[in-house]
Structure 1
Amino acid sequence: MSKFNFTKAAIEALPIPEKGWIYYYDLKVQGLGLGVGATGKKSFILYRKINGRPERITLGRYPDLAIEQARGKASELNADIAEGKSPADRLRAAKREMTLGDLFQEYMERRAAFNRRPDKPKATYRLYLSDWNNRKLSTIRHEEVDRLHKKIGRSNGQVTANIVLKLLHVIFNKAINEWRIWKGENPAHGIVKFPEQSRDRFLQSDELPRFFQAVAKEENETIRDYVLMSLLTGARRSNVLSMRWKDINFDRAEWRIEETKNGTPQTVALSPEALEILQSRKPSDSAVFVFPGSGMAGHLMEPKKGWKRILERAGIDNLRIHDLRRTLGSWQAKTGASLAIIGKSLNHKNQNTTAIYARLDLDPVRDSVNKATSAMLTAAGLKDSADVAKLKKI
């Protein structure tokens, strides 16, 4: 019986037999063997006496099954044997075990109603996790995830690496704690994310006149109104895109969002300028979406080209649509709003202020939004009185 310490170099240097199989055994884990066939195939096995009878249990093909994974499987089976349990039971359970691909599919199906942008997790999974698609959940180790996180950070950027880590952490957490379809551990738990610099870009006073002029000149009315509504409400991009007429209450000047990124509903206070835009768009027929689109979703999906036109016309660089949300919050702060008021209006989920938010009604939030809107329009040269600015008639 030939024994040696299994390493990648040693295994790949093994000779191929002319016929049949030759078996080699590891010095580190009892009974762990590697069979080399005449075709060049290599498979890990566990060779042990069980109830007095020698048994050879196939663990998996090399290199699909890494050396450390094979040692882990063999150690688990050895522990079962020591306790008098049947390794066959464990192997049968492993065959029934979900793969990472199964779990991701489950995640996408269960979250379908809440995923405003399902293309994002799909793309993240396809680009960075699909190599593990057929891996059983129990074979994905913490140290592997840590190495993958660092590798992506080096090659694709630290923000991307953190996005991949978050996706993996979330789907395992859902499986373990919420759906209870997996009883193992979360291999992404405890891995420290790369530090990310918080983005603080928002429209400054000197940029507002150019920005509003550029928006007013946008020929695509849907894009123009979408951009203005994003700025005036501070709502998240996906929520504004899918804004529905049935959720608008003109009498109360409110917009009810049933499901936000935080998993909670939100009532948005609509300023007089926001209401003016909605009144001008209000259809006579039974339209569903405020900003309709020609795609399957039925609403506007990707305003990148229109946004690019507006920025080029305004001569403004390094501004994203999400920065419009930050712009409203920043102008609220400039006009004296408290952090609690800003958090309530933007639906920020912060445990330290949750209790405060719960006690706030919409009136101070509405006052703050209206005050910030008025200040922005005044800075843009569009408003010098209490009158409602006619944004579409600049």
Structure 2
Amino acid sequence: MAKMILSARFVQTAVCPPGKAKEDIFDIGCKGLMLEIRASGGKTYYLRYSDKRGRIRQLRIADQRDVTLAQARQLADAKRAEIALGRDPAEEKKTLREVRTVEAFMVESYLPHIKTYKRAWPADDSYLRNHILPAIGRKYMDEVKPTDLIKFQHSMREKGYALGTCNRCLVLIRYAFNLAKRWGEPGVTENPTKEVTLYKLDNQKERFLSPEETRRLLDCVARSDNGLLQYIIRMLILTGARKREVLDCKWADFDMARMLWTIPITKAGKPRHVPISDAVVSLLNEIPKTSGIDYLFPNPKTGKPFISIFYSWDTARTEAGLADVRIHDLRHSFASFLVNAGRSLYEVQKLLGHTQIKTTQRYAHLSHDTLREAANAAMSAIAQTAG
């Protein structure tokens, strides 16, 4: 390792000594600047320095063919100034090399994480494969900007996707970047979704069954070719539970001594307990049991829960003249029956398993309607008295 005052002529003519792979020459005229001369004929400028822990680090400045000696000295001086101010260029380069692409992070870290607690993880996997990764998957995590996500939103709308679908994708990206930031993912210092707003949903559909519609629906499901459909639909109406919570329930989940149905894993990823009403007790007594099968509603062909009941459900609701009613609307209807019976929103929240009261607030207008009917009834009584 030699030291000398480098000159432009020397840099141009210097060759690696015979028998050596490379030769390092330090420039006395610029602190830390080194010229590496290789046997292949290549020459590269480096800056050698000590980091904040006293370790010797080496930072590539440039290829000798790309800059002059004077420019190499200027670049070395600039890098030393950065180091003096607390920045470590070599460490920053190392961090850059560790930054993963969005696709690598989602596949290697995000999906394995949510699979441990989120029952609906296949939906996230679908959003990733079909929408998110084709758009930003090849970008590095530190390259994703708010403008990229706004462009992504607009492109989905141009393709005809619903506002709700666009929002679901953005929420997924937001959550993934929050996790990345929390986990110290290299390159992630800010969440790029922070400045991107969700689309306002003006078309949220809330459908409530009237008592008469409920009777029509129950008549039709009772005639379904799927012999278990009538019990499944009644269970949904009587409990307000989610579809998969009902389809996956087992006999062992029902504690008749305490009158509690334990749903082992909910949408929130934790168990919840649902009181068993007298109507549910009667229903449980009607459901035919299959020997050796743990599930309340096993598919006769597999003995496992139904993957889908859409065909039999669609046939029954259409026959009942309720083609616009979704299975999830049975949950809404359960809530409306409760509110219109005078139960509080707090009670509705607990029975539906909502983690936040704002989710339950959508049913507040139902209590208003009930109170208005009560006020009208009072006025009618007053009018009759006055008459």
Q: Pick from 39, 55, 58: which aligns with 2:62?
A: 55
TM-score normalised per structure 2: 0.66
Secondary structure of the residue aligned to 2:124 is helix
Q: Report which stretch shifted further, 334-343 or 188-197.
A: 188-197
C-alpha distance 80-120 of structure 1, shift in aligned 2 (>3 A): farther
- Counterpart of 2:148 in structure 1 is 144
Q: 1:141-199: CA deviations, max 9, x gaps? A: 1221122123323432321110110111111222323x444552221223211111332
Q: How many Å apart are 1:233 and its aligned residue?
A: 0.8
- Counterpart of 1:83 in structure 2 is 82
C-alpha distance 185-244 of structure 1, shift in aligned 2 (>3 A): farther
Q: How many Å apart are 1:95 and its aligned residue?
A: 2.6
Q: How many Å apart are 1:56 and its aligned residue?
A: 5.5
- Counterpart of 2:174 in structure 1 is 169
TM-score normalised per structure 1: 0.65
Q: How many Å apart are 1:82 and its aligned residue?
A: 5.2
Give the partner amino acid of 1:292.
Answer: P
Pick 1 or 2: higher relative contact order, CA cutoff 8 A, min separation 6: 1
In structure 1, C-alpha distance between the alignment counterparts of 2:317 and 2:82, rounded to whole Å: 69
In structure 1, C-alpha distance between the alignment counterparts of 2:78 and 2:208, rounded to whole Å: 59
In structure 1, C-alpha distance between the alignment counterparts of 2:301 and 2:192, rounded to whole Å: 38
In structure 2, C-alpha distance between the alignment counterparts of 1:168 and 1:87, rounded to whole Å: 30
Unaligned runs of 5+ in 2: 1-43, 49-58, 65-76, 361-387
- 1:96-111 superposed matches below 5 A: 96-105=98-107, 106-111=109-114
In structure 2, C-alpha distance between the alignment counterparts of 1:166 and 1:294, rounded to whole Å: 38
**% identity of equivalent residues:** 24
Residue 192 (structure 1) aligned with residue 197 (structure 2): yes
Give the partner amino acid of 1:98.
Answer: R
- Counterpart of 2:268 in structure 1 is 262
Residue 232 (structure 1) aligned with residue 238 (structure 2): yes
C-alpha distance 189-353 of structure 1, shift in aligned 2 (>3 A): closer
C-alpha distance 242-53 of structure 1, shift in aligned 2 (>3 A): closer
Aligned residue pair count: 287
Q: How many Å apart are 1:346 and its aligned residue?
A: 0.6
In structure 2, C-alpha distance between the alignment counterparts of 1:141 and 1:323, rounded to whole Å: 38
Which 4+ runs in 1 deviate beyond 6 A?
78-81, 294-297
Secondary structure of the residue aligned to 1:348 is coil
Q: How many Å apart are 1:258 and its aligned residue?
A: 2.9
The structure having more radius of gyration, on CA atoms, is 2
Kept in 2, the 8 Å contact 1:340–1:353? The answer is no
C-alpha distance 56-200 of structure 1, shift in aligned 2 (>3 A): farther
**How big is the alpha-carbon RMSD for the aligned residues of Structure 1 and Structure 2?**
3.2
- Counterpart of 1:119 in structure 2 is 122
Q: Report which stretch shifted further, 242-251 or 165-174.
A: 242-251
Give the partner amino acid of 1:83.
Answer: E
Q: How many Å apart are 1:234 and its aligned residue?
A: 0.3
Q: 1:242-299: CA deviations, max 9, x gaps? A: 2122211122222112332234432112222322332333636442322224899932
Give the partner amino acid of 1:55.
Answer: A
C-alpha distance 79-117 of structure 1, shift in aligned 2 (>3 A): farther
